[in-house]
Chain A
């Protein structure tokens, strides 16, 4: 199906979206996107902490998707999140001097409750508490070699964001849920 690119382009501009990616996720692909985003941030001449914060949220969000996303078209791969089953959509934009980063991916419904409770908890903490919580969780995860560090990745997102972590879980069929996360910096 041919897309009306002019309309699509207008939609991106009207929503202040400057970068959008949809497709498979893998480490080197993220590297490419990271360079692109860094160049974009350099152009905006931000302070180092502002640019590091946006970059950091991007990295943690993408790592999070890489870890938890499942490809709805290949549900048999849902136990192997590091295979080609990792897929997602990422967008970044700028509006009124603040950046917004949003991700979307399919995930296992069985993991929803844990993820939701983690985010809800982070949203109750202030920056100082988040810093402390990050330290505590890092220590716990360090003693647990099985952990891939997903827990502290989310804390990092919360620490760098200037907003609460906004999210939606949209139930789909067959034990799959669509997850979207939105933060501003």
Chain B
């Protein structure tokens, strides 16, 4: 059975949608909960297995408007991991979606973009 996980957002944790069948993940909202590592653990546990399969194409829509430094470290870890698993057959697309007035998120996106080698990183400014 394909993995499916959906979590509603709280004050300090984002909305999460993980749909294996569609090869799709979405994070939306804010992330600054002290236990952010536990929040991301479920995603990592699934990703670690998923990325080793022939998944074909995977899309990650990132639509957070604020995240703290601990979250930034986990996002870095996640993006670098995804980047390592891109092959001729397995494509990964990250859509970094934000608004033009969100300077901090745009800057963070640019910094991630610089470190990424193989995955497709789209800066989407709405």
Interface set of A (CB-CB < 8 Å, partner B)? 26-27, 30-32, 34-35, 47-49, 52-53, 55-56, 59-60, 63, 66, 131, 134-135, 138-139, 141-142, 148-149, 152-153, 155-156
17 contacts between A and B (CB under 8 A): A26-B34, A27-B33, A32-B11, A34-B11, A47-B101, A48-B101, A48-B102, A49-B103, A52-B66, A52-B103, A52-B104, A53-B104, A63-B69, A135-B115, A141-B73, A142-B80, A153-B68
Report Cα–Cα, A124/B61, bound state, in Å.
Answer: 37
Considering only CB atoms, which chain A residue lies closest to B30 in the complex? A34
Quick one: given A30-B12, A31-B33, A63-B34, are A138 and B70 in contact (CB under 8 Å)?
no
Interface of A is mostly: helix
Interface size in chain B (residues, C-beta < 8 A): 25
Q: Which 6 A-B pairs have the closest CB atoms?
A: A27-B34, A149-B70, A31-B11, A152-B69, A49-B103, A48-B101
Q: What's the nearest-Cβ distance from chain B to residue A127, in Å?
A: 10
Let me know if B73 and A49 touch, CB within 8 A: no
Known: A48-B103, A142-B77. 7 other contacts (CB 8 A): A31-B10, A49-B101, A52-B104, A63-B34, A142-B76, A152-B73, A156-B69
Residues of B within 8 A of A152 (CB): 69, 72-73
The contact of B68 among A31, A59, A138, by CB within 8 Å, is A59
The contact of A49 among B11, B12, B72, B104, by CB within 8 Å, is B104
